[in-house]
Amino acid sequence: MVVLAESSPILPSELALRAYELSTDAVVKETCYGLIVTGSEQAVNETIEELRKLDPSGIFVKDRGFPPGDSRRCRAVRGGGPRPGFHQLEKESAILPSISYGLETIEDPLDVKHQKKRDKLKIDRFIEIIEEQSKEDVNG
């Protein structure tokens, strides 16, 4: 199962076209989130390897249990309802752009705030903040 991050400039249709161009033995199905690639392990791996080159940090891949169109899972046969695994995919798709950004910047040094722990707020400063805030509230 190939899932595109929202931040990726690639469209599922472009992925599908590239997969057809490769003409491996894998069967490709275009979906709203990316592609489903089915076939022998070798054919699937070859296809995935080539597809990843289009956007190495924006294309995510995972295994899928049921084959596409399987009557035990296919909504066309079961009469609708949510796609099994939809909630997992929905939740993880939301943070894929961040993961993609994490992959792109993996060699860059982390920001100082991640390297150095912030000091605790001093009690004197805390009292000052409260006083400033209460003055603002009285004046405002």
Partner 1 sequence: MAKILIFPSNSLILSDLVARFGHEPLTLMRVIRKKITEVGIDSPPINVTPEDPKKGLKYAAVDVPSGVRGRMALLDPLIEEAEAAIIVHEADYSFGCMGCARTNELVKYIVRNKDIPRLELAYPTNDDEARVFVRKIRDFCESLTHKAEVLA
Residues that bind partner 1 (CB under 8 A): 1, 3, 60-67, 70, 72, 85, 87-92, 95-96, 98-99, 101-103, 105-106, 110-111, 113-114
Q: Provide the minimum distance between the beta carbon of 98 and partner 1 in the complex, in angstroms, as a whole number.
A: 4
Q: Which is nearer to partner 1, 1 or 19 (CB)?
A: 1
Residue with tokens 């990316």: 34
Q: Which is nearer to partner 1, 86 or 126 (CB)?
A: 86
CB of 62 to partner 1, least distance (A): 4
Q: Please, which residue, 112 or 138, has the CB nearer to partner 1?
A: 112
Cα–Cα distance, 75 to 80 (Å, whole number): 5
Distance in Å, CB of 130 to partner 1, minimum = 29
Give me the least distance between CB of 74 and partner 1, in Å please.
Answer: 12
Helix H or strand E segment including 75: helix 75-78
